[in-house]
Structure 1
């Protein structure tokens, strides 16, 4: 397990800043046993490139932490935290967790899909993208390209003859790559 980001347990200030964003209870209505301990385990794992099963035993079973991460992801926690990072000042305690939140957003992409990529792009958080920006879909650019084509629809024939190849290449870029090689994903900080 390679430590990508130096990890320390959540401080009291960081935990107090993070707590308003977290769910108060499990989906069944039971109170969570120790949410701070679970978040520490989650952030410990997010500071590495290891799979969930490699989580240290002191944090509990990896499947439990992974399930908690998935529930938080489905509840939209990482999108709310990205928005909070954009809105809060640079000295706010959540800013100290910025890189870990970005890494969590990268893992959350598998569950949340394109929405988290769009949000990270709009906020300018390229570090939260699950790969290099030029290899990922860009829905905003595709809307602009469609609007450009619609503006020139009366002269569409000459427009396509003149700009056809460039538009086709741009539309291909807008869709992103189908597969991002693992070595590129692992290069992300």
Structure 2
């Protein structure tokens, strides 16, 4: 069911919340030079820093020092996790019938983490969030984002019109119809630039 997730302000993770989140995160450090180098205390500190940045909408460069990780290192780690599909898998975990209560309670936080990653995830990430119904994970309100299904339908219709015109040179659609179809395609393509004022609550 499509919905906007109620806001939940950032608070430091409890040990119980970290125990629920940790299994969804890689157990090795992707930034390490030696393959398979285990993450120790920095694993939780990095996640805390990422969570703080995403929930409070803080730029990476302005992360507080007390989170114990370098801002650029945190940003790099966040991008790696996005490319590994961590944020997408966390969204999917939320709809699992056996989703732990504590993880479900962190839905707003997970949505904000996924939202920050949407430029990296692209259409696949947008489609996943919309399909699962997590509107808060979207970087813009749904009606400002690309609608892949509508775009495909409109392009298929445009192709039919062109093929009909090629087969029968005397046939033309009604005056203004192609212009209307073009405007519909622009709308289906969403806003070219994402703006924070159109972001979900």
Normalised by the length of structure 2, the TM-score is 0.78
| TM-fit CA distance, 1:47 | 1.8
**Residue 120 (str. 1) matches residue 134 (str. 2):** no
Among candidates 9, 12, 19, match of residue 12 of structure 2: 9
Bigger mean CA deviation after superposition, 154-163 or 25-34: 154-163
DSSP 3-state at the match of 1:9: coil
1:54 alignment partner in structure 2: 62
Q: Is the 8 A contact 2:10 2:56 kept in 1?
A: no
Normalised by the length of structure 1, the TM-score is 0.82
Relative distance call for 1:91 and 1:31 in structure 2 (3 A) is: closer
| TM-fit CA distance, 1:152 | 7.0
1:84 alignment partner in structure 2: 93
Distance 1:20 1:91 in 2: 12
2:81 alignment partner in structure 1: 72
Relative distance call for 1:176 and 1:88 in structure 2 (3 A) is: same
Q: Is the 8 A contact 1:5 1:48 kept in 2?
A: no
Deviating 4+ runs (over 3 angstroms): 88-91, 146-160, 162-166
Relative distance call for 1:17 and 1:148 in structure 2 (3 A) is: farther
CA deviation map 1:47-90 (0-9, x unaligned): 21211122121212212221221111111111111111122467
Higher relative contact order (CA 8 A, sep 6+): 2
Q: Is the 8 A contact 2:140 2:195 kept in 1?
A: no
Say how many residue pairs are matched.
Answer: 184
1:108 alignment partner in structure 2: 117
Larger of the two Rg values belongs to structure? 2
Among candidates 167, 174, 178, match of residue 161 of structure 1: 174
2:188 alignment partner in structure 1: 174
Task: Provide structure 1 residue ranges, at least 5 long, that are not aligned to the other structure.
Answer: none
Q: Is the 8 A contact 2:88 2:114 kept in 1?
A: yes
| TM-fit CA distance, 1:148 | 4.6
1:25 alignment partner in structure 2: 28
DSSP 3-state at the match of 1:87: coil
| TM-fit CA distance, 1:147 | 4.3
| TM-fit CA distance, 1:23 | 0.7
